[in-house]
Amino acid sequence: MRKIHETVHVGVDIHSRLVMPPMVTEASVGGEISEKTLAYYKKMAANKQFDLFIIEHSYVSEDGKASLKQMSLADDEKIAGHRKLVAAIKSVRPDAAVFLQLNHAGIKTRADIIGTDPMGPSVRPWDKMCCAMSLEDMARVKADFVAAALRAKKAGYDGAELHVAHGYLLNQFLSPLTNFRDDDYGEDRVKYPLEVFRAMKEALGDFPLAVRIGGIETIEGGTTVDEGVRAAKAFDTAGAAFLDMTGGMTGYNRPGHKEAGWFQDLSRAVKKETTAPVLLTGGITTYDEAEKLLAEDAADLFGIGRAFLKDPNWETDKL
């Protein structure tokens, strides 16, 4: 019988199936790691229910910034701040694994944030304030992801996570709601996110790289579970350290669902078709709920987000 507290390999060995998923703090100043950020993550890392901490998304280039207070790893000058963040967490939990999520906002930003019109896979028919990416744009952004991943490695992280969910750029390529391209990248919507992932893997060597996949959308015409499984299989074959399954353009909530693990139909389907550990988030608020989902084989890892954010001492009485 599998247990919550046992060793799982995600490119590195962790000793709990409970994960702190990336949650935006909006505490950065000019993209730099602030003292507030350091204090926050030290506080969260003290909870020994968790052994894997996925740090909130950092933008990989200035035109991919989602907000003015988002963390950056878009240039070498930011490495020192990230090194401080890893050291702060390790000072509390030297045995914990710390991964950094890397992201580009695509059309999920504004001109007043990035200084130019946002870009995405296609121009949305109702949106005149974005531009479709050229092949040259796509090559440049791919290189930006690779460069940021190498910076994460230099900063001392134990791994990185590529963000292909929650409506950001790579999810925009994956989703039929936003990808209207008439080239190969529209015919095969996984193609560009997978190319970015493979380029990062090639550059990183044995440094673990996971992926967060927006594998389901809750409105008509959006990504289906079957399409989410297809994407997950592609990243699994490409060597993903784990598969973090969540929502796509419609976000991390799921209207009409209040049960623990509200993306479990997706995670269960992915588990049947892949070999990498599968991470499930969404609505899990107690240790007992995670334990039940594990017993039911809904996933291998369980992200505790808002409940942990609300209470940094979440379920420590059960240690």
Provide the CB-side half-sphere exposure for 294 (13 A, CA).
Answer: 20
Residue 87 tokens read as 């050291």
Single out the catalytic residue among 157, 168, 192, 287. 168
Task: Count Cβ atoms within 10 A of the Cβ of residue 296 and give its class: 0-12 exposed, 13-18 middle, 19 or more buried.
Answer: exposed
Select from 242, 247, 317, 243 the least CA-distant residue to 283: 247
**Catalytic status, residue 168:** yes
Rounded to whole angstroms, how far apart are CA atoms 234 and 89?
32
**8-state DSSP, 239:** T
Taking a C-beta distance cutoff of 8 angstroms, is the pair 291, 284 a contact?
Answer: no
Rounded to whole angstroms, how far apart are CA atoms 147 and 237?
23
Return the H-helix or E-strand segment holding 119. Answer: strand 119-120
- The SS3 assignment for 295 reads helix
> Cα–Cα–Cα angle for 186, 70, 140, nearest 5°?
40
> Cα–Cα–Cα angle for 204, 144, 135, nearest 5°?
115
**8-state DSSP, 78:** G
Taking a C-beta distance cutoff of 8 angstroms, is the pair 98, 89 a contact?
Answer: yes
| Residue 129 CB neighbour total at 10 angstroms | 11
Return the H-helix or E-strand segment holding 55. Answer: strand 52-59
Burial 5-28 (b: 16+ CB within 10 A, else e): eeebebbbebebbbbbbbbebebb
Residues identified as active-site: 168
